[in-house]
Structure 1
Amino acid sequence: MDNLFNPSLEAALKKLDPEDGEQIVEYFKTHALLSREKALLQASVRDQKKLLVENGKLKKDIEQLRVQLQDKQRRRTVKALFSPPLSTISPAPTTPVNQPPSPAGAAAAVPTNPPPPSSHDQRERHSRRRRGERKARPTSDTLSLGAEPRVDVSRLDLRVGRIISVRRHPLAEALTVQEVDLGENAPRMVVSKLGAKTHLEELQGALAVLLCNVKACKVRGVVSKARLLCCSTSDDVSEMLVPPTGSAPGDRVTFNNYPGDPDRELQSKQRIWELIQPDLQVDCRGMANYKGCRFEVKGKGLCRAPSLTNCVIR
């Protein structure tokens, strides 16, 4: 602190005012020290702001590099998926050097057409191709560019539900609104078009089959979160499909010939329901089926129509 004040000036002040000169000198020294600390603090704030700006630039550069790296990895994955494996390239046939050419040898060297694959090999290859499509579809969106996904009933999430309540739609007389228990934490609201002769009071507490992985949509102001499956005739007579006795809300409806897990949600652009629905029918015995394979609740039985036969399911 003594170096902050000129010694000659200190001596002059003490000489001019012997009594208060020393206090004046201490005051000036304290003021000089505070000024220097203030200057150091301001310089530190400027350096901190500069570091914050540089830190922000570095974060932005790192984010850009991360995006570029992900893009390169994506392109590399697509290239690896769609490039032919090296094992499929068969080496050119070689002939022994010391063996003289002969007509029989020349005839043997001519490639012949392979025998047609047997039906068993075709089924195995088709099965492997289907399994590969099921595994490839959820891994990456890029795989759908080359592999055609399966379109069959296994992509539908069909489950048993119990109708808790049913009422007419407030804005459409032809529509009904059901509250359905599907074994979840909360019931789902479902908007359906039932036949005009349907008695709503008879539906309350009944079991039904519902398509549960449709996208929720608003129907005349009411959000519908599932689709109630009904069978109907050309005379506009319709009935709900009936699950087997002993079914419980949440039981899944499956098909023996079409194993696999359903989609989490059917995409409207793919029109999966529109492609599958024409093959959903009720046979002459009143049993619901898809291409002859019946609706089944494992360990409990088959789904059926109450009274209709030879009609479509919608």
Structure 2
Amino acid sequence: MEDVENLFHPSLENTLMKLDPEDGQQILEYFRTHALLSREKALLQASVREQKKLLVENAKLKKDIEQLRGQLQDNQRRRRAKAPPPRRRSPAPSMAVTQPAAAATAAVPAVSPPPSAASQESKERGGRRRRARPAASGPAPLGAESQPEVTRLDLRVGRILSARRHPVAVNMWVQEVDVGEAEPRTAVSTLASEPQELAGSLAVLLCNQKACKLRGVVSQARLLCCSAPSDDTVELLAPPTGSAPGDRVTLLDYPGQPDRELPPRQRVWERVRSELRVNGRGVASYRGSGLQVRGKGLCRAPSLTDCPIR
């Protein structure tokens, strides 16, 4: 309820009370109740979508398990078909053999010729091939491509503690940002705002990019901004009211755990950012799925719409 109270500026309440002193308070209560119900409805819809997604994934896993079971049974049948038949034992010697002949055969022991080196090598190769076949025909791991790359991003809420101009680059700023860790992180950006406007603001940061130097200053995180295509207007992406430094920012339709650190050579951010946009309602989204802080709401642009996120 405290989040709903924060949605209404004191000036709005004063204006309503002046316009309608008798029913102004009732109108404000109606707005608060409507905002609370809308938020609860959005959260309920998000949970229903997650449940449906989990059911689809479970059905897919069951299907994959059945396929693997069929492959395993086929491999076992092939191995049985290729196995050599058991050798038959030679019949027992006849009791009609005369004693001299039996003595002669007993005196001369049967010595089998030693196997040649070539035959031993061919047997070893055949054994290695038979042992290697099951490993080579094994299926790919389940769910190798089930999650999109956007789930690898570690997006968090941060509070800008201070901002100053870059010592070398005129169009760059250096911010110290609290992201819920023991020490604040340094972020270098190209925001065109004054330091007093940035200090104390909440923002959304990408926290698992490898730290890099930007004109001599090490940047440990990336501030997510939105920019208007028609002019040079740049705004910080704003998390929902009630967010705190360190809160995870996730997507409604793409649950998953982020990488500890994004490999620079894979260029994950460069591929994902082309589909990160602010839609016509000002909501930050990826392929139509909104960026959210679970239980608190959606991330938005302060005033821009239909623009890219960078």
TM range (shorter): 0.5 to 0.7
**Residue 73 of structure 2 aligns with which residue?**
87
> Which segment drifts farther, 150-159 or 161-170?
150-159
Matched position secondary structure for 1:247:
coil
| Gap change, CA 1:273 and 1:90, over 3 Å in 2 | same
Q: Any residues of structure 2 matched to 1:12-51 within 5 Å, and which?
A: none
CA contact (8 A) 1:152 1:258 kept: no
**Residue 309 of structure 2 aligns with which residue?**
313
1:209 maps onto 2:204 in alignment: yes
**Residue 200 of structure 1 aligns with which residue?**
195
| Gap change, CA 1:88 and 1:311, over 3 Å in 2 | farther
Q: Any residues of structure 2 matched to 1:22-171 within 5 Å, and which?
A: 86-89=72-75, 132-133=142-143, 150-171=147-168
In structure 2, how many angstroms separate the alpha carbons of the residues matched to 1:206 and 1:130? 46
Matched position secondary structure for 1:170:
coil
In structure 2, how many angstroms separate the alpha carbons of the residues matched to 1:184 and 1:285? 32
- Whichever residue aligns with residue 308 of structure 2, its letter is V
Q: Map Cα deviations across residues 166-222 of structure 1 (whole Å, 9 max, x no partner).
A: 011010011100000001000001101113xx2321110110000000000011111
For structure 2, the 5+ residue unaligned runs are: 1-69, 79-138
In structure 1, how many angstroms separate the alpha carbons of the residues matched to 2:166 and 2:154? 25
Identity %: 59
- The structure having more radius of gyration, on CA atoms, is 1
CA contact (8 A) 2:162 2:195 kept: no
Which has the bigger relative contact order, CA under 8 A and spacing at least 6?
2
Using structure 1 for the length normalisation, give the TM-score.
Answer: 0.54
Q: Aligned pairs, how many? A: 180
Using structure 2 for the length normalisation, give the TM-score.
Answer: 0.55
**1:151 positional shift:** 3.9
**Residue 226 of structure 1 aligns with which residue?**
221
CA contact (8 A) 2:157 2:249 kept: yes
For structure 1, the 5+ residue unaligned runs are: 1-83, 93-128, 134-146
In structure 1, how many angstroms separate the alpha carbons of the residues matched to 2:148 and 2:142? 14
Q: Map Cα deviations across residues 55-88 of structure 1 (whole Å, 9 max, x no partner).
A: xxxxxxxxxxxxxxxxxxxxxxxxxxxxx95335
Q: Map Cα deviations across residues 22-68 of structure 1 (whole Å, 9 max, x no partner).
A: xxxxxxxxxxxxxxxxxxxxxxxxxxxxxxxxxxxxxxxxxxxxxxx
In structure 2, how many angstroms separate the alpha carbons of the residues matched to 1:201 and 1:90? 72
In structure 2, how many angstroms separate the alpha carbons of the residues matched to 1:167 and 1:253? 26
| Gap change, CA 1:154 and 1:169, over 3 Å in 2 | same
In structure 2, how many angstroms separate the alpha carbons of the residues matched to 1:203 and 1:210? 14
Q: Map Cα deviations across residues 237-258 of structure 1 (whole Å, 9 max, x no partner).
A: 1100001110000000011211
**Residue 61 of structure 1 aligns with which residue?**
none
Matched position secondary structure for 1:172:
coil
- Whichever residue aligns with residue 200 of structure 2, its letter is G
RMSD: 2.3
**Residue 32 of structure 1 aligns with which residue?**
none
Matched position secondary structure for 2:191:
coil
Matched position secondary structure for 1:277:
helix
| Alignment equivalent of 2:258, drawn from 257, 262, 265 | 262
| Gap change, CA 1:292 and 1:90, over 3 Å in 2 | farther
| Alignment equivalent of 1:293, drawn from 289, 299, 304 | 289
